[in-house]
Structure 1
Amino acid sequence: MSGGVPGEHWPHEYPRRASLPAAAGAARPGTPAAGPPPRAGHRVDERRGGARDGWTISSLLVGEGEPAELIALVDEDCDWWDLFRSTGTATVNVLGPGQGRVADAFARIAPSPGGPFRTGEWTDGTHGPRLIDAAGWVGVRLVDATPDHAGWALLVRATVEELDLADGVDALEHRYGRYV
């Protein structure tokens, strides 16, 4: 998969923030771009009137262009999809090293007493909840609320509206059944 740091391999330049916000209520960036190469450990989060939900997405692709798009395979029966379809916005949290527990909690394969948002420290962003110590996040807007199927999953497309990448932090990877 190909992503890239804006300005490195892109035909156009996007500004980017130097680091993730350190506390709740931090400033919200508003610059479009696409994030680092997607890997397992990307979490998509959404909120509606105070309701939050999230889902671990492992099949994710960045489509370069103007505007850039994220393309994901999503289980149409997951609760998160209903929330994303109704609000039209979501945050993709790019998990970093040591955040495998967060991915597992949102994939509903590990316990998280009090709900998955009790795993890690969160702040509300313009597109949905953001994990404070994530390797990055991308604010997206749904392209089509009735997407086509790709196999058993929905082929969901969303335009990139906001981006924040932490300097010097690699994305969480899942290889051979383990997080690295």
Structure 2
Amino acid sequence: MTIHSEHPFLPSDDDRDPVRRLRGRIGGTVSLWTAGEGIERVGLTVSSYLVAGGNPGHIVGLLHPDADLLERLEETGTAVVSLLEWRHRDLADAFAGVRPAPGGPFRLGTWVQTPWGPRLEPAGTWAGVRLDRASRRQVGWSVLVETMIEHVEVADTEQPLVHRRGRYQRPTA
């Protein structure tokens, strides 16, 4: 058996989508978007988002068009956007649908219900947002949504969960 340092099934660089390769090199802190309550709550790991300053501030996200989160966000009009830390990487994979989560991904954490949706209790940095319903539009393979920040809490983060080039990474000092 040979152990490879690279993924054995990845196509060569020349065969990969150059736009995805560009996006993968930007990197950023992974967020978890959650909406709903009780058995109606849903969530999605999102790394394609932007925070815009202003009064009010906005968070613009690119969401998968078939994601349950998009449907619930449009129903409730609100969501929680939490910034994840390195210790949340298994949870991030579960909400991204790439890691099994028997009983659902909400069983993997402790949650507090807020007026905007469920919040991961140990996530110190989060925002409660309201959907700008007029902003929804198809962008590439995603749906662009614009939300207005109604509440924000910011905490010190020693180990943010960074996603770059298709992998989680610890940030360097």
**Do structure 1's residue 107 and structure 2's residue 96 form an aligned pair?**
yes
User: What CA distance in whole angstroms lies between the structure 1 residues aligned with 2:103 and 2:124?
Assistant: 24
Where relative contact order (Cα < 8 A, 6+ residues apart) is larger, the structure is 1
Normalised to the residue count of structure 2, the TM-score between the two structures is 0.76
**Candidates 99, 106, 115, aligned match of 1:126:** 115
**Do structure 1's residue 164 and structure 2's residue 153 form an aligned pair?**
yes
- Residue by residue, what CA displacement relative to the aligned partner does 1:151-180 show, whole Å, maximum 9, x if unpaired? 121110000001112234442112342332
Q: What is aligned with 1:24?
A: none
CA offset at residue 112 of structure 1?
Answer: 0.9
C-alpha change, 1:169 and 1:86, in structure 2 (3 Å) is same
Pairs within 5 Å for 1:8-19: none
**Candidates 101, 125, 134, aligned match of 1:136:** 125
Q: What is aligned with 2:10?
A: none
Percent identity between matched residues is 38
Maintained 8 Å contact 2:85/2:157 = no
Higher-helix-fraction structure: 2
Where 1:123 maps in the other structure, the secondary structure is: strand
User: What CA distance in whole angstroms lies between the structure 1 residues aligned with 2:134 and 2:161?
Assistant: 29
C-alpha change, 1:111 and 1:90, in structure 2 (3 Å) is same
| Residues paired across the two proteins, number | 143
**Candidates 51, 72, 78, aligned match of 1:62:** 51
**Do structure 1's residue 178 and structure 2's residue 168 form an aligned pair?**
yes
User: What CA distance in whole angstroms lies between the structure 1 residues aligned with 2:75 and 2:151?
Assistant: 20
Q: What is aligned with 1:22?
A: none
CA offset at residue 145 of structure 1?
Answer: 5.7
**Candidates 145, 148, 151, aligned match of 2:140:** 151
User: What CA distance in whole angstroms lies between the structure 2 residues aligned with 1:49 and 1:87?
Assistant: 13
Q: What is aligned with 2:32?
A: 43
Instruction: Tell me which structure has the larger Cα radius of gyration.
Output: 2
CA offset at residue 39 of structure 1?
Answer: 2.7
Q: Which runs of 5+ in 2 are unaligned?
A: 1-26
**Do structure 1's residue 94 and structure 2's residue 95 form an aligned pair?**
no
Q: Which runs of 5+ in 1 are unaligned?
A: 1-37
User: What CA distance in whole angstroms lies between the structure 2 residues aligned with 1:46 and 1:108?
Assistant: 17
Maintained 8 Å contact 2:60/2:147 = yes
RMSD: 1.8
Amino acid of the structure 1 residue aligned with 2:145: V
Maintained 8 Å contact 2:58/2:149 = yes
| More deviation, 100-109/147-156 | 147-156
